[in-house]
């Protein structure tokens, strides 16, 4: 049974030119990339997407970071996509990832616990919400960036 998850290459991943390397790891790990869109998020988008973190002390920094440049949104599909993608990206703190999960994507391209270069949905509920956030008709008005 195939499953879908939402993956995102965050602004640092794009600006440091990791997109092709990350895409290669995704495909070599057996995921199909079924949707892809480059967008520039504004503060309102970030606040809604990360609503569960909106009261955290790091939230203002998260908004600055996530609005600092375009992000690449992807829908990945394969059996067990949600947990397999989370395993592939590694721990939130990229510095820990470099020690404990050296083959993870965050070990490859993340900088620390804030600038961790990629996102992955953490549950089936999150995946459904996040996929419709970007690809449903719920939130019109993203500015698309064509390369």
Pick one of 111, 114, 128, 139: the residue that binds ligand CMP (CB under 6 A).
114
Pick one of 25, 62, 131, 139: the residue that binds ligand CMP (CB under 6 A).
62
Q: At what angle do helices 124-135 and 81-89 cross, to 10 degrees?
A: 90
Residue 61 binding ligand CMP, by CB under 6 A:
yes
State how far the Cα of 10 lies from the Cα of 104, in Å rounded to an integer: 16
Residue 119 binding ligand CMP, by CB under 6 A:
yes
For tokens 């092709």, name the residue.
20
The residues with which 51 forms a beta bridge, in sequence order, are: none
Q: Which is nearer to ligand CMP, 61 or 80 (CB)?
A: 61
State how far the Cα of 62 lies from the Cα of 48, in Å rounded to an integer: 12
Sole window of 24-32, 35-43, 55-63, 72-80 interacting with ligand CMP (rule: CB under 6 A): 55-63
State how far the Cα of 124 lies from the Cα of 109, in Å rounded to an integer: 26
Binding site for ligand CMP (CB under 6 A): 53, 58, 61-62, 92, 113-114, 116, 119
**Residues with catalytic function:** 119
């Amino acid at each position: 049974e195939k499953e879908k998850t939402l993956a995102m290459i965050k602004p640092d991943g794009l600006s440091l030119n990791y997109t092709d390397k990350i895409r290669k790891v995704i495909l070599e790990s057996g995921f199909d990339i079924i949707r892809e869109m480059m967008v520039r998020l504004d503060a309102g988008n970030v606040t809604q997407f990360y609503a569960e973190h909106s009261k955290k002390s790091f939230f203002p920094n998260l908004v600055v970071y996530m609005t600092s440049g375009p992000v690449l949104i992807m829908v990945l599909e394969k059996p067990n996509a949600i947990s397999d993608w989370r395993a592939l990206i590694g721990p939130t703190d990229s510095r820990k990832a470099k020690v404990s999960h050296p083959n993870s994507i965050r070990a490859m391209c993340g900088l620390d616990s804030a600038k961790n270069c990629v996102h992955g949905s953490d549950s089936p509920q999150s995946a459904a919400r996040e996929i419709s956030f970007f690809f449903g008709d719920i939130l019109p008005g993203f500015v698309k960036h064509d390369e």
